[in-house]
Amino acid sequence: MASLFRDLESWDPAPLRAQLSKGGFHRTALQALGMPEHWLRSSVRRAAMLGRAQAGSPIHTLIRLFTLGDDVEPEAVLFALGDAAPGLLEIGFLEASGGRVRSHYQICPIGDRWVGCDFHQRQGEDVDDYVMGVGPSSILLASLAPQVKGRVLELACGIGWLAGALSSRGMEVVATDLNARALELGRFSARLGGFDGIDFRQGDGLSTVAGETFDLIVANPPYVQSPGGSMTYKEAPTGDPVCARLLREIPNHLAPGGIAVVLINWTHTGEDDWSEVPLSWVPAAGVRRWLFQSDCSSPADYAWKWIAPDLRFQEEQVAEEEIRRWLRHYQNTGVRRISGGFMVLQKCASGEEWVRTESRAAENIEADAGHDVLRVLANESWLTREPDLLHSHFRVPPGIAAEARMTLHTGSWARDTIRLTSPARLSYDGQIDENILRLLALLGDGGTPADMVAEIRSRLEFAALPDLPERIAALVRDLVSHGMLVPVAQG
């Protein structure tokens, strides 16, 4: 395809960054107006946005120009963009015609920077190269990506927002995508964000990195389990299980100890067989596998989740025909459930493999979940060496929280449950009892599990328990497995 922009490498993004900040087109100013930044990345009605901004103000014009795609008066554009306007016109991001100015692409504020993508309404044109902005799945993947040293690969990078975030952490990043239009907008976004070191490459899957290995691979591929469709960014062609293909090939591109995090959806036949299909996609030899299921839907619910917001299917008759197409596909292929989640892989030596599966909602996962990922990987590997759990020393990671639920009974409060969460709410989020709280406190203060055994046996009612050491060791193993304790030898 022809390049979207003219001489992008010579474009100076500094004036645009300055004007977007000055005009209030950023998180802090938007929140002050009662507009969370995700409003500008979604289909919120224009009245809800423009009604909160003073007419003719820079933020009013910037929303019209870069969020709604309006044709705007040149005077208003110059007032809002100042000396950034000529540069955007020169590269072809803006177009002046018929006494009006319009933007060919959307600019979305996210965090402390901005990205370029397609306007939401372009999705309704049924084009195969629609470029979406930063959605919930992108944010989830960013939260899961651990901090590593070395080379990083982002597969199906889209506009490269995550690639930019990883680059900002000092990582050497290669970003690939099949959609050339997405990569062009990715290069624009990288320049706007000040990340000039990202190596963008166009190609399908891992074809552009043949023979190369990486210390971290992240992917948010087109995982939607549909009958096949035209939206490259979310749907794989019929007969091409892209998630399976990537997970089969990724281990060959991981350096020793390298980690991969891949968002996936998959189909299965019942409630209890959810882990079989995705685990079968990954070679068992030389790989540690952690499968996390975050949701599970019926075919009808899953299909409608993707069809309902799609602008191509807003007419009732068209939507009805589309959902029937999806449901026929599921029936013909024996699909009864569709799950979503992610897979974490780590390259390891033969004999050091392990498998972990977990099923829990992921909506509360916090932005620094990559730290939880690293702890789980390191701890599970430590446990495979069969350490002496009772006499090992541990530290409690900062950020672990315990919340008690109290109920009022006849004038006094009684504790019903205690909920313990890992720092980022990824590796553990569940109910515990007072014994676990005491164990964590004792170990965090330099004691050992053997000290806990001695403390409990000092109570007459527990002095004769024959299997107490085994019970405490099992409890410690579970806490280590979930990253709630870290062996001191691991730092």
Q: Which of 96, 111, 126 is the last residue of a domain?
A: 111
Residues 162 and 263 grouped into a single domain: yes
Residues 278 and 151 grouped into a single domain: yes
Residue 372 included in any domain? no
Residues 104 and 150 grouped into a single domain: no
- pLDDT band per the 50, 70, 90 thresholds, residue 459: confident
Residues 359 and 212 grouped into a single domain: yes
- pLDDT band per the 50, 70, 90 thresholds, residue 126: confident
Under 8 Å between Cβ of 110 and 25: no
Residue 379 included in any domain? no
Residues 330 and 277 grouped into a single domain: yes
pLDDT at 465: 81
Residues 174 and 248 grouped into a single domain: yes
Residues 144 and 264 grouped into a single domain: yes
Name the residue with higher pLDDT: 365 or 239.
365
Under 8 Å between Cβ of 176 and 201: yes
> Structural domain tally of the chain?
3
Long-range contacts of 223-229 (CB under 8 A, 24+ apart): 223/263, 223/264, 223/265, 223/340, 224/265, 224/306, 225/265, 225/266, 225/267, 225/302, 225/335, 225/338, 226/303, 226/306, 226/326, 226/329, 227/325, 227/326, 227/328, 227/329
Q: For residue range 63-111, list pLDDT tens digits in order.
A: 999 999 999 999 999 999 999 999 999 999 999 999 999 999 999 999 8
- pLDDT band per the 50, 70, 90 thresholds, residue 240: low
* Residue-range definition of the domain harbouring residue 462: 389-490
**CATH (domain of 452):** 3.90.930
Q: Decide if pLDDT at 333 tops 60.
A: yes
Residues 84 and 180 grouped into a single domain: no
Q: Decide if pLDDT at 151 tops 60.
A: yes
The tokens describing 245, both together, are 């293909």
**CATH (domain of 300):** 3.40.50.150
Q: For residue range 1-12, list pLDDT tens digits in order.
A: 668 999 999 999
Residue 118 included in any domain? no
- pLDDT band per the 50, 70, 90 thresholds, residue 239: low
Q: Which of 328, 363, 398 is the last residue of a domain?
A: 363
* Percent of the chain whose predicted confidence (pLDDT) is above 70: 97
Residues 237 and 336 grouped into a single domain: yes
Q: How far is CA 10 from CA 13, 84, 87, 93, 192, in A?
A: 9, 14, 10, 14, 12
- pLDDT band per the 50, 70, 90 thresholds, residue 232: low
Q: Which of 111, 143, 160 is the last residue of a domain?
A: 111
Residue 37 included in any domain? yes
Report helix, strand or coil for 28: helix
Q: For residue range 156-196, list pLDDT tens digits in order.
A: 999 999 999 999 989 999 999 999 999 999 999 999 999 88
